[in-house]
Structure 1
Amino acid sequence: MPRSPGWYYSGSTTTDLQEDGVMTAEPDRDAAGSETAEALEEAADSTGLDVLARSGFAVLAVLHILIGSIAAGIAFGGYGQAETSGAIGPLARSEPFGPLLMWGGCIACASLALWQLAEATVRVRHRPPRERLVKGVSSGALVFIYGSVAATFAAFASGRGRDSGDSTSDFSAVLLASPAGAPALAAVGALVLGVGGYFVFKGSARRFRPELNYFEDTRRGHLLNALGVAGHIGKGIALALVGLLFIAAAVNHRAEESTGLDGSLQALLGYPFGAPLILAIAAGLICYGLFALVRARWGKM
C-alpha cells in the first residue's frame, strides 16, 4: 500500500511518526518512560524489598507499643517521653547491640518509606486520576513519616540522637522564620490533623480490613478487628493532638508550643479528664502496635 505524503502509523509496539522524512521521537520517549516505570515497579515488587518493608512494619509496631506503654505510665504519674526518641533512646544505649539495633531500624524504616514511594508513583500509574491523587497524597505523607523515623534511628546510631519534642520545635521555628511563616506552620498542623482524622475514620469504618491477606470470621478474626478499630482510632487521636499543637504554635507565633505527642500528653495532664484520655490513647497505640505486627506478617504488600 502506498504511503501518504503526510504521516503514517507503523503498526509496531513503539510507534514511529514520519513527517516529510523526519522521525519524531515522542512515541519512543513515551515507550521508554513506560519501560522505565515497569522496571521500577518490578524492582519495588522484589522479594528483598518486600521482606525489608515488612520488617519496617514490625519496627514501627514495636515503637507504637513502647510509646503506648510510656504514655500509660504518664497517665499514672510516671516519667518518660511518649515519642519516638523516648522509645528509641533506651534501645540505643543498650550494650553491646545498641548501634546494631539502630542501623537495623534505620534500614527497615527506610525500606518501608521506599515501598510507600513506589505505592505513590509507579504502582498507581494505571489507576483513574482521582485514585492516583488520593494515593499519592496518602502514601506520600507516609514516605515523609517513615523517612523521619529512619532518620531518627540513623541519628541515634551515629550518636546524634536528640529529643523529638526539641526537633519538632526547631522545625516549627524554621517554618515561622521562613517567608511563608505562620500560614505554612498552620498548614502542616492542618495536614497532621487531617491524617489523624483519616485514621479515626479508617478505624471506625474498618477500612483496614483489606490490608490483611485473610480475615476469617473466627475468634482470631474478631480479635484482629478489635485491635484494628481501637488502634487506628487511638493513633488518629494522638496525631490530631500533635496537629493541634502545630496550629496553636502558628496562631500564637510560639514555636516552642509545638512539642510533639509527649508535649500534647503533658498538656492534657492539666485537665480533669486528662489522665483517663491519656490512658485511652496509650491503649490505642498499643493496640495499633499489635495490629501492625500482624500487618507485618500477613499484610498485603
Structure 2
Amino acid sequence: MNKSANKTARAAAKSAEAASNSKGLETAARAGFGASGVLHVLVGAIALQLARGLNGEADLGGAVAQLAARPGGPFLLWACFGACAALALWQAGNAVFGTSGNHGRRLTARFGAAGQAVAFALLAATVLSFALGAGKNSRESTSDLTVTLMRAPFGPVILLLAGAGIIGAGIFFAVRGARASFRKDLFLPGAPAPRRTLLTAGVLGYLSKGFALLLVGLLVILATLRQQPEQSTGLDGSLKGLREQPFGPYLLAVLALGLVCYGCFLILKAKYARM
C-alpha cells in the first residue's frame, strides 16, 4: 500500500511539474511581468504628479485604481489579475521544482522564486480586490494594519522585523541594479540598441525600486519606535514625505522617473526573461 501511495504521489508531483512548465502557463506568466510593468509605470507617473505639487496616491493601489478608471477598466483589471496570478503560480513552481539548468536548482534560486511568488500573489490579490469593487486606499490600509499589529502581543517586534525585511529587500534591489546582476535572468537581445535600452532601464529601475523600498522600511521602523502607527503609510506616504524634504520635489522627480524605468524594464522582461 505504501508503494502504491508513493507511486501515486510521484505521479502527482510529475503532473504538477509538467503543468507548472506548460507553454500556456509560461505565456500567461510572461504577461504577468508586462502587467506589473504597466502598474509600475503608472506609479512613477503619479509620483511625477506629486513632484509637481499635484495630488495622487503613488503606490500600486493608486495605480490599480487609475487602471480601473480607464475605458475597459474591468476587463483590464481581470486580465491583469490573471497574468499576475499566472506569474505567481509559475514562480511557485520554480520554488518547488526548480527551473531548467543547474542554476535554477540551487537553493538560493528556489528561495528567490518563492519570494517572487509571494510578491506577485499579493499584487494579484490587490488587483482582484479592485476588480471585485472592494479596493481600499493603500495608505489607510497600511496604517490600519500597523495599528492592529502594534496593539497585538509582540506586535512591535513583528513590525520592526517587517521594516528590517523591507530595508533588506531595498538593499537587494539596489545591489542588483548596481551590479546589473539581473542580466542572468534575461536572454539579452543581440542588437546594440535594444540591449542598451534593456540594461539601462534595468539598472535605473532596480536602483530606484531599492531606494523606494528603503524609504518604506525606514518609515515602518520610525513609526514603530515612536509609537505613531499613523506615520506608517507605505510607499505613498514615503514619497510624499520625501517631497517635503529640502530639494524634495527634485529628488522625487528623479525617483519617479526611475520607477517608470523599472516598469519599462518589466515590460521588456516579458519578452526577454529566462523562464
Kindly name which structure, 1 or 2, has the bigger radius of gyration based on alpha carbons. 1
CA distance in 2, matches of 1:124, 1:300: 10
Q: Which residue of 2 is the match for residue 71 of structure 1? A: 47
Query: What does residue range 118-137 of structure 1 map to in structure 2 within 5 Å?
Result: 118-123=93-98, 131-132=106-107, 134-137=108-111
Q: Deviations over 1:76-127 (max 9, x none)?
A: 21221111121111321335x2222211111111111111111221226997
- TM-superposed deviation, 1:252: 1.9
Q: Deviations over 1:266-291 (max 9, x none)?
A: 11122113222211211111111111
Any conservation in 2 of the 1:62–1:289 contact (CA below 8 Å)? yes
- TM-superposed deviation, 1:29: 5.9
CA distance in 2, matches of 1:81, 1:274: 17
- TM-superposed deviation, 1:177: 2.5
Q: Which residue of 2 is the match for residue 284 of structure 1? A: 258
TM-score scaled to structure 2, two decimals? 0.91
Q: Taking every aligned residue pair, what percent have the same amino acid on both sides?
A: 38
Distance 1:135 1:177, change over 3 A: farther
CA distance in 2, matches of 1:123, 1:136: 6
Query: What does residue range 52-201 of structure 1 map to in structure 2 within 5 Å?
Result: 52-95=28-71, 97-123=72-98, 131-132=106-107, 134-201=108-175
Q: Which residue of 2 is the match for residue 241 of structure 1? A: 215
Q: Which residue of 1 is the match for residue 205 of structure 2? A: 231
Distance 1:54 1:273, change over 3 A: same
CA distance in 2, matches of 1:126, 1:214: 18
Cα RMSD, aligned residues only: 2.3
Query: Aligned letter for 1:75?
Result: A
- TM-superposed deviation, 1:137: 3.5
Any conservation in 2 of the 1:209–1:215 contact (CA below 8 Å)? no
Gaps of 5+ in 2: none
TM-score scaled to structure 1, two decimals? 0.84
Gaps of 5+ in 1: 1-22
Distance 1:69 1:296, change over 3 A: same
Any conservation in 2 of the 1:196–1:236 contact (CA below 8 Å)? yes
Query: Aligned letter for 2:12?
Result: T
Q: Deviations over 1:221-242 (max 9, x none)?
A: 1221111110111111111111
Any conservation in 2 of the 1:40–1:122 contact (CA below 8 Å)? no
Between Structure 1 and Structure 2, how many residues are aligned?
A: 274
Distance 1:209 1:127, change over 3 A: closer
CA distance in 2, matches of 1:180, 1:173: 13
Query: Aligned letter for 1:44?
Result: S
Q: Secondary structure at the match of 1:121?
A: helix
More helix per residue: 1 or 2?
2
| Residue 232 (structure 2) pairs with residue 263 (structure 1) | no
